[in-house]
Amino acid sequence: MVHDTIAAISTAVGEGGIAIIRISGPEAISGIATVFRSKINLKDAETHTLHYGHIIDPISGEEVEEVLVTLMRGPRSFTAEDVVEINAHGGVIAVKKVLDVVLQLQGYRTAEPGEFTKRAFLNGRIDLMQAEAVIDLIRSKSDRAFSVARKQAEGVLSKRIKALRQTVIELLAHIEVNIDYPEHDVEEMTNSFIRDQCDSAIDEIDRLLKTANEGKILREGIVTAIVGRPNVGKSSLMNVLTQENKAIVTDIPGTTRDVIEQFVALNGIPLRLLDTAGIRETTDVVERIGVERSRNALEEADLILLVLNYNEPLQADDRELLLQMKGRPVIAIINKTDLPRQLEIEVVEESISADSIVKMSVLEEDGLDRLEKTISEMFFEGQLESGDLTYVSNVRHIALLKRARQSLVDAIEASEAGIPIDLIQIDARSAWESLGEILGDEAGDSLIDQIFSQFCLGK
């Protein structure tokens, strides 16, 4: 049971129109009432109301800041506790002065990272899967990723996991009745019954895991390395995709000396773009370091955008890169199509499928739609715009679903091998507990602490 009251700044530090200090706990209302000067006594105010007044210094009685105070009585609040939010002027000094006053109050302390969401979980307002979705909402890099996280935060995915657990618990109940009351006339625990129940759960897990790759991409983004020899248009492509001048563009080969990283949402697909130094043999010490980093980025990438020059014949460095692309997830971008063709495209097609070759003029921004379509088909089978937003995106959830699935497979195999029912019960219970760990029902304190430590202060 939580007995103390926590406070933290919930808005980003820096200049802004307003800053919000959030307080939650048993003394949230009574404590703030002692330092809030207004026409109304905060302790008598109705829930979900907003009040104008001033925060005062409890010692000198001087006004510290002009504020608006929002009051939300538990359990109708984010944490299911009494919550007060103080809206002050934005700026480092103003909000710090207010927070200093608040933390002087008896029973108050600074909130730990993610502690407000943790209290919502501990108080039963949300499950662990919904709590983790809050992190994804904050970190979303595209509209699509935000929509998926919002659905998870609303509990859409949690309902499916709970239904899965219900299927498994029904199997456990039948097993335990047969173990505890063998003399009663209960449904016989046959191999077909165990298989039917387990198969039903396995089919649902498979449906969820089918979305795992797409969900992980939407959550984390596709690590995309833009590679090619110097001066083929890599940095220009980076600038067009990001709509910013992130990379220096000149006619001088070897301008980019390091890996430049930027997130971009391309038709709803989050890409973690890595603009690399031109890969070529060089005697320049600094450029050679950049080339080595480019090769490392190439190895780590989920997707490679290989840029080639439509206006020049293939060079030795181009041919070497084409050899390295075999078996890799690559899209060849034939750039500078606004100029006369000199590139041997048929040679490129010997290494890269024609479906993965996109002709573009980055200068004229021609061909971006074709690039978007090619990426979508490569990673989402062209179905990114589907209305179903029930994606499994969290690595922890994916691992636990796979563990639960394996336990159910083990239960089927044990049953068919004639192993006693009480041992089959162990596999079924393992599946039930793995699913419960996703929701937080079976999660240990260390796991919960580790998850919420990823949050920012004030959330």
Determine the Cα–Cα distance for residues 429 and 407; give it in Å rounded to an integer. Answer: 9
Helix/strand/coil for 224 = strand
Name all contacts of 169-172 with Cβ < 8 Å and 24+ positions apart: 169/432, 170/197, 171/197, 171/198, 171/411, 171/428, 172/425, 172/428, 172/429, 172/432
Nearest in space to 352 (alpha carbons), one of 294, 306, 401, 295: 306
Contacts of 447 (CB under 8 A, 6+ apart): 437
Determine the pLDDT at residue 47.
96
Task: Answer for the pair 86, 21: CB distance below 8 angstroms, yes or no.
Answer: yes
332, 337, 275: which is closest to 308 by C-alpha? 332
Pairing of strands 83-89, 18-24: antiparallel
Residue in the structure block whose two tokens are 């639960």: 404
Whole-angstrom Cα distance, residue 405 to residue 203? 9
Q: Determine contact, residues 83/23, Cβ cutoff 8 Å.
A: yes
Write down the pLDDT at residue 276: 65
Give the predicted TM-score (pTM) of the model.
0.70
CA dihedral sign, ordered 93, 96, 98, 100: negative
Among all chains, which residue has been given the structure tokens 């498994």?
168
Cβ(125)–Cβ(81) below 8 Å: no
pLDDT means per 10 residues, the chain with 459 residues, are: 83 85 95 94 94 93 94 94 94 91 93 91 90 82 77 87 92 78 56 86 92 77 83 83 57 47 78 66 52 65 88 88 84 91 89 89 87 84 53 86 95 88 89 92 75 77
pLDDT computed for residue 290 by the predictor? 58
